[in-house]
Structure 1
């Protein structure tokens, strides 16, 4: 088979790495890819939102399956467009991808089908949103309804912070049209976990759970990011709670979307808040998380291509999915200043030494090649991912590898996985 992966981040590097292990695969292409991906696949210089060029390439190269990594092309309707061209693509339709493309729509679906989530209101004008916040008080959560690369959520512990977030999103337009609408919801206490599931429109099969670390600084402080690290399994999501989450959260969403005439195929990602055994949904994404994909895919024992084909073809119920027991962890190395302004183009050293650490994979995210050297080109630059017989061993290996890697201003959290150790 010939496979095309759309995207160029750490998630896509992990996907290409996993796909390359399938005996069914002959050639892997990635658009646009990155220097790490280029070591195991042929990178193609096509942007993720250039649907016509991507489809032309897939047709001309006889691509058997296209795997879509990021949310943007999914919300633009890449799967529908490919299918209209007679091409097979893994991911949700544009209608189903609205679960991530519009937080307001997602909340409406959760309410309609009885999926537990925080009380909330949606606003299209800043004055009404401000009045609601002043009436409700803090803590409170303010979210840009559209896509914001994981940075559109403010957990405000004072009314002033919430008002500032509304101005930031709706008036300053820092997220563009994604901030035309805001969702304001009650603050949920507890501990977060990520539960991802393979879906074929009717059936949802859980992956091993993971826990993301969204805030930029240790101790879960500072602004939200796209994710500073993740580990799997997440002890907070016990096997019993995972079964409950599949019964009360994931399967009801799959059933509900089917009833809406938008059957969901691909990856459904539930961001869950767990408090004393009570599960509530923070958000849904419609693709692999980044960085959750890295530790989760490292634990996948089964052939991912077979699973994806079963999802596309509506026969997931016939498929057995196996996982490794070994815990895994991903530590994100970021450019200094991220998620705010940062400088690009610093040479990165130590990648070979890091990759030589036992059971470590260094997944590239925001990297580029310049004058024969790998340089930082994005906010989140590398995802140093390790497995071990124990979580502590995985953590030790990941940090042994991160300590090998250097560039000017490089930053990473040193407490990824610490919550898991406490459990």
Structure 2
């Protein structure tokens, strides 16, 4: 089989690596891929192209299945177009992708189907949003309605901070339209958890839990990022938490997907907050998370492609996922300055005797040499019989990786 995998990040490298383990898969075309997929077995990077160009590529190269990694092409309706052409593609329809594409749509969906979530108000008028801020109890959370590369959610500790965020989102338009509408949300205190899952629109099978570390600095300080590291399973996700998640979030979600007639064969990410009052849903993502994917897939013993085929054929109810009982600790190495401005183009040196797995995110292959090309350059993943063993392995391996202006957190798995 030939597979077309769309995307260019560490998530896509991890997906490609896992797919390559299926003996029936002959070639994985990565559009556009990165320096890591360029070196991965069975993989070949190709030009990203428009949706129409990807459709032509799928036809010309007899692609058995197209798998969509990032959210943007899903929100633009790539699945609908492939379906119109009779091509097999794995991902939610444009309508279903609104669960991530619009936070207001998502919150209304949660409210309609009884998914436990924070109280909120939506504004597309700056003056009304500013007026509302004066009535709030702080801290509060302000979210850009549209996609913003993982940077559209800000916790504001006081009125002055909140007013600046509204100014940045709605007036300065730092997210190119995605922040013109905002959601002002109740702040929930607790521990975050990530649950990746796969669905066929009738059944959702959750993956093992993960804990992302979003702040750029140690001790959860500094601005939010797309993710600085992850551990799996999440020690805070107990059997009781998982049971509550399934009853109060997963089941009403699948009920809503069915009742809204959403065509949904794809991955679904649940961002949770574990509080003293219960388990709340912060957000949906209509794809796998990054860096959660890098930390979770190495623990999956089941064949990922067989799960994708099962979902595509609406047969998930008859499938189970087998997991390794190990723990994973994943540390993201970034370009200094991220999530702000940073310099790229530096050579990446990785010694051959590392014991973990390196997934490239912001790196390209130039004349046989890996070079930095983004903020989150790579994710180093180590497994261990305990979380402590896994994190020790990761931080030992990190000393064998180097690029100029390299930065990483030292407390992944400790906090």
Matched residue of 1:66: which SS? strand
Q: Which residue of 2 aligns with 1:340?
A: 340
1:250 equivalent in structure 2:
250
Q: Deviations over 1:392-412 (max 9, x none)?
A: 111011111222111221110
Partner of 1:189: 189
Name which of structure 1's ranges 260-269 and 85-94 shifts more when overlaid on structure 2: 260-269
Counterpart in the other structure of 2:19: 19
* TM-score, with length taken from structure 2: 0.97
Quick one: distance in 1 between partners of 2:314 and 2:366?
44
Shift of the alpha carbon at 1:28?
1.0
Alignment-derived partner of residue 177 in structure 2: 177
1:116-155 pair list within 5 angstroms: 116-155=116-155
1:42 to 33, 41, 44: 44
Q: Which residue of 1 aligns with 2:357?
A: 361
Offset of 1:197 from its aligned partner? 1.4
Query: How far apart are the structure 1 equivalents of 2:366 and 2:60?
Result: 30
Match of 2:75? Answer: 75
Partner of 1:158: 158
Distance 1:188 1:201 in 2: 29
**1:241 touches 1:277 (CA, 8 Å); kept in 2?**
no
Residues 354 and 400 of structure 2 are in contact (CA less than 8 Å); yes or no, is this contact kept in structure 1? no
Whole-angstrom distance in 2 between the partners of 1:46 and 1:114? 39
Residue 198 (str. 1) matches residue 195 (str. 2): no
Task: State the partner residue of 2:393.
Answer: 397
- 1:55, CA displacement in angstroms? 1.1
Q: Secondary structure at the match of 1:208?
A: strand
8 Å contact kept, 1:203–1:251:
no
Greater strand share, structure number: 2
Contact 2:38 2:365 in 1 (8 A): no
Which stretches in structure 1 are left out of the alignment for 5+ residues? none
Which region of structure 1 is more displaced relative to structure 2, 369-378 or 97-106?
369-378
* Aligned-CA RMSD value: 1.1
Q: How far is 1:371 from its partner?
A: 4.8
In the alignment, structure 2 segments of 5+ residues that lack a partner are none
Secondary structure of 1:330's partner?
Answer: strand
TM-score (norm 1): 0.96
